[in-house]
Amino acid sequence: MQDTQEKNKLVRWPYLLIGVISMLFSGIIYAWSIIKAPLETEFGWTPSQLALNFTLTMCFFCIGGIISGILTKNTSPKVTVVISAILVFSGFTVASFMSGISIFTLYVSYGVICGLGIGMAYNAIISATNVWFPDKKGTASGAMMMGFGASTLVLGNIAALLIKSESIGWRTTYLIFGITIGLILLIASFIIKYPSKDISFPGIKNNKTAENSTFMTRDYTTIQMLRRFSFWKFFMYSITLAAVGSTVISFARDLALSIGATDALATTLVGVLSVFNGLGRIFSGILFDKKGCRFTMTTANTITIAASAVILTAVLTNSIILGIAGLCLAGISYGSSPTINSAFTSLFYGSKNFSTNFSVVNTILIPASFTATIAGSLVTSTGSYAAPFILLIALSVISLFLNLSIRQP
């Protein structure tokens, strides 16, 4: 039995590798700040019009996740990922032929179609891959989330080079990304699958430092999950935790410029933030497996509070050094959120209905994204970044209290 489990442990790693690669290409939606640049120049669309497209993308990303959960449960990950590949290819292709007469074409092609496609692939691939790692829920989730978060740094820079190239330009770049991502997801659809029922894996190791070792996981349906008070505490915890990171990311470059960073340094810091976002995802995943759910969530809370406090101090003292430290902490904090969401959902509510349960948890991105809008309004009305970070510190403290009150369902 032990030998069989050891063999199964080796067989499952290629599935995680495919999951990470798929997430790397799917994460292109987070590179919108780079992809949108030529549209503003060529068509004269305003920043607010283009910002609305990103909001639509995130909303339909969440909707795609819900559709994916239902579809995957009734069919298979293969069916869901094939559909997502077609949607992403179609969305980028239509966007590449935009005339600029109406921004509505962008909203439908990139915001709705690509958003749905990426959301469906995200949910199906993570759901199927996590089942192979019952003993390493956090590590598996963290690795895939790291791939998703690293996309901005890797594919974003590639997109920027292609767009600036006179022989390629933004239209061909959009088409290249549509074809490439569509092919990657199509290939993944024939590989990603659930393990057969006769395959056994080792359970969570009996580690005294990890409360996961004594945690009795059972499978909850989505309706049963929604009826648990523990779920709603975690849902609010996740919103407040993600809100801090998403807000910092939304104006990281302008924030750096406001405390005295050069234009080149400010641009570099956006990339640094992305790197630490990716590191936070794998760090929190490993921590989840080694130290348990409560420890990981509390650590993420502590880092989030520290990030907001350090950046606030940097703003008040015009300290670039503190600003860099705060942005790095904010990246780790934001990276921890999606990994915790995935691992927590699997641990608390089981793997049987994970795809639908996880898609519901991911809707936290919608309310969390509005915090950035509120923070932007505070900057405009006060002329300073101090007020937003006072708000973010308050949200971080609320998140900590919610975390400490969560109990096993």
Residue 408: helix, strand or coil by DSSP? coil
Architecture of the CATH domain 220-405: Up-down Bundle (1.20)
pLDDT(47) > 80: no
Tokens linked to 382: 């006060």
Task: Report d(CA 56, CA 165) in Å as an integer.
Answer: 29
Task: Report d(CA 142, CA 61) in Å as an integer.
Answer: 19
Q: 5 or 217, which is more confident?
A: 217
Residue 248 has a CB neighbour count (10 Å cut-off) of: 26
Give the pLDDT band (50/70/90) at residue 206.
Answer: very low
For residues 322-327, average pLDDT: 92
Q: What stretches of 104-198 show up as alpha helix (H) in DSSP?
A: 104-106, 115-130, 137-164, 169-189
For residues 368-378, average pLDDT: 77
| Share of residues in the chain with pLDDT > 70 (%) | 92
Burial 368-400 (b: 16+ CB within 10 A, else e): bbebbeebbebbeeeeebebbbebbbebbeebb
Local structure of residue 216 (DSSP, 8 states) = -
Residue 382 pLDDT: 85
For residues 349-378, average pLDDT: 82
In the chain, where the domains are located: 2-189, 220-405
Task: Report d(CA 71, CA 64) in Å as an integer.
Answer: 10
Task: Report d(CA 384, CA 292) in Å as an integer.
Answer: 39
Q: Which fold has domain 2-189?
A: Growth Hormone; Chain: A; (1.20.1250)
Is 127:117 a contact under the CB 8 Å cutoff? Answer: no
- Min mean pLDDT across 57-71, 106-120, 165-179, 256-270 is at 256-270
Tokens linked to 55: 């909001």
Q: 144 or 117, which is more confident?
A: 117
Give the chain's end-to-end CA distance (angstroms, integer): 32
Residue 56 pLDDT: 85
- Of 405, 289, 307, the closest CA to residue 343 belongs to 289
pLDDT(209) > 50: no
Give the pLDDT band (50/70/90) at residue 105.
Answer: very high
Residue 406 pLDDT: 83
Residue 181 pLDDT: 94
Q: 253 or 294, which is more confident?
A: 294
Residue 149 pLDDT: 75
